[in-house]
């Protein structure tokens, strides 16, 4: 990996540095976030995107929240500011569960630090919050590596893999989720090629996934989203691997709009469909995909691109950012703790209790 999509620079008074994904592939630009408003905008406008990367960025956002006079001169005021900014950042995007998971974890850590030491100072609290954000970032890097190790077995020499949207290093703090098995298979010397759906309306597949794979030396071709079915009909796709932004208790998975269509095409053509995602993507409070909140984005993303109008003036557009793939159409969910084959509520519940029982390499050393 030749870059870090999300990186903290300095100590408690440092700043968050992000690869501005709105500018790729034409320009590789780093965006500096020195306050939570800049970070909120970065998440909202997709300068940083991908469920794991959003979670890590949000964790560091609470470090930013405790900088300067806004944080207050007492632990009580500092905790109040942390809670306020956590709620603000949580409102930036509704679907990616890692955002809420990271913010909840950061708040719990801050509360534990105060509860365990009645003499805690504001500076000590800030140090504890930074340490927890660093831990979340480091865990994400390791999570990506392990997903790659568990998932590379699904990529055979000479295979052709289809992926949708971007779930690589740009979407995480490490080497990615859906792309991680590809990177690991490539390191082992396997030769294969990848078809990257362009991923309308913001072209994350064409702009980001193709860029990442090309940087890694993996053969990649961009296709329009509506070409995937015909490629499968020709027998040119051996497997589909995508990421996920939220996985319900029964295994239904929300991912970038268009993923559902790909899953149906894969089922009809006998192509195995895999999801690669960290354990933090599971949301057991949601029974099925029907209850996953789906972000609706501005119509302008569909009616124009890069400032160029692509639809008649006055025409509206429907623009959900995600859709839901049913568990029945998922061959396996690849996580950092093992592989859940034919996922359903029972298997997922068992996995979360004891990942070593799952199919594939045991995760006892996790």
CATH number of 155-357: 3.40.50.10470
Distance CA 274, CA 154 (A): 9
Distance CA 186, CA 175 (A): 13
158-167 confidence digits (pLDDT tens): 999 999 999 9
Class of the 6-145 domain? mainly alpha
Distance CA 268, CA 56 (A): 37
Mean pLDDT of the residues in the chain: 92
SS (H, E, C) the chain: CCCCCEEEECCCCCEEEEECCCCCCCCCCEEEECCHHHHHHHHHCCCCCCHHHHHHHHHHHHHHHCCCHHHCCCHHHHHHHHHHHHHHHHCCCCCCHHHHHHHHHHHHHHHHHHHHCCCCCHHHHHHHHHHHHHHHHHHHHHHHHHHHHHHHHHCCCCCEEEECCCCEHHHCCCCECCCHHHHHHHHCCCCCEEEEECCCCCCHHHHHHHHHHHHHCCEEEEECHHHHHHHHHCCCCCEEEECCCEEECCCCEEEECCHHHHHHHHHHCCCCEEEECCHHHEECCCCCHHHCCCCECCCHHHHEECCEECCCCCCCCCCECEEEECHHHCCEEEECCEEEECCCHHHHHHHHHCHHHCECCCCCCC
36-51 confidence digits (pLDDT tens): 999 999 999 999 998 8
CB atoms within 10 A of CB 106: 26
For the entire predicted model, the pTM comes to: 0.88
On the CB side of 59, how many CA atoms lie within 13 Å of its CA?
A: 31
From the candidates 245, 252, 283, 323, give the one annotated as an active-site residue.
245
* Closest to 255 measured CA to CA, from 317, 142, 183, 177: 177
For the chain, residues classed under CATH 3.40.50.10470 are 155-357
Mean of the pLDDT values across residues 139-151? 96
* Known active-site residue 245: yes
Residue 307 near residue 124 (C-beta atoms within 8 A): no
Q: What is the pLDDT of residue 200?
A: 96
296-305 confidence digits (pLDDT tens): 999 999 999 8
For the chain, residues classed under CATH 1.20.120.420 are 6-145
Please report, rounded to a whole number, the percentage of residues in the chain having pLDDT higher than 90.
85
199-245 confidence digits (pLDDT tens): 999 999 999 999 999 999 999 999 999 999 999 999 999 999 999 99
Residue with tokens 């500018």: 23
Q: How does residue 362 score in pLDDT terms, banded at 50, 70 and 90?
A: very low
């Amino acid at each position: 990996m030749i870059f870090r999509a999300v990186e903290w620079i300095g100590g408690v008074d440092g700043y968050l540095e992000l690869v501005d994904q709105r500018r790729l592939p034409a320009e590789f630009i780093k965006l500096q976030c020195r306050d939570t408003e800049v970070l909120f905008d970065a998440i909202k406008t997709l300068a940083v995107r991908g469920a794991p990367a959003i979670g890590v960025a949000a964790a560091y956002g609470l470090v930013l929240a405790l900088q300067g006079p806004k944080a207050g001169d007492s632990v009580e005021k500092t905790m109040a500011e942390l809670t306020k900014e956590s709620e603000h950042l949580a409102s930036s995007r509704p679907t990616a569960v890692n955002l809420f998971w990271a913010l909840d974890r950061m708040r719990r850590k801050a509360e534990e630090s105060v509860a365990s030491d009645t003499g805690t100072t504001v500076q000590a609290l800030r140090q504890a919050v930074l340490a927890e954000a660093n831990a979340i970032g480091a865990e994400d890097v390791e999570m990506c590596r392990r997903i790659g190790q568990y998932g590379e077995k699904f990529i055979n020499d000479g295979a052709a893999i289809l992926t949708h949207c971007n779930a690589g290093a740009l979407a995480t703090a490490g080497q990615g989720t859906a792309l991680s098995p590809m990177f690991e298979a490539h390191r082992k010397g396997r030769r294969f090629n990848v078809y990257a759906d362009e991923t309308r309306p913001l072209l994350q597949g064409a702009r980001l996934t193709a860029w990442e794979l090309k940087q890694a030396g993996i053969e990649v071709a961009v296709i329009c989203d509506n070409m995937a079915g015909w490629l499968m009909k020709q027998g040119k796709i051996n497997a589909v691997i995508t990421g996920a932004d939220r996985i319900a208790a029964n295994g239904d998975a929300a991912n970038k709009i268009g993923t559902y269509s790909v899953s149906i095409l894969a089922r009809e053509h006998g192509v195995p469909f895999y999801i690669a995602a960290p354990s933090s993507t599971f949301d057991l409070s949601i029974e099925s995909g029907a209850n996953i909140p789906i972000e609706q984005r501005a119509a302008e993303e569909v009616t124009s691109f890069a400032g160029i109008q692509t639809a008649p003036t006055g025409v509206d557009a429907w623009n959900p950012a995600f859709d839901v793939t049913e568990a029945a159409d998922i061959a396996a969910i690849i996580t950092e703790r093992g592989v859940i084959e034919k996922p359903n509520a029972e298997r997922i519940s068992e996995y979360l209790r004891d990942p070593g029982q799952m199919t594939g390499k045991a995760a006892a050393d996790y």
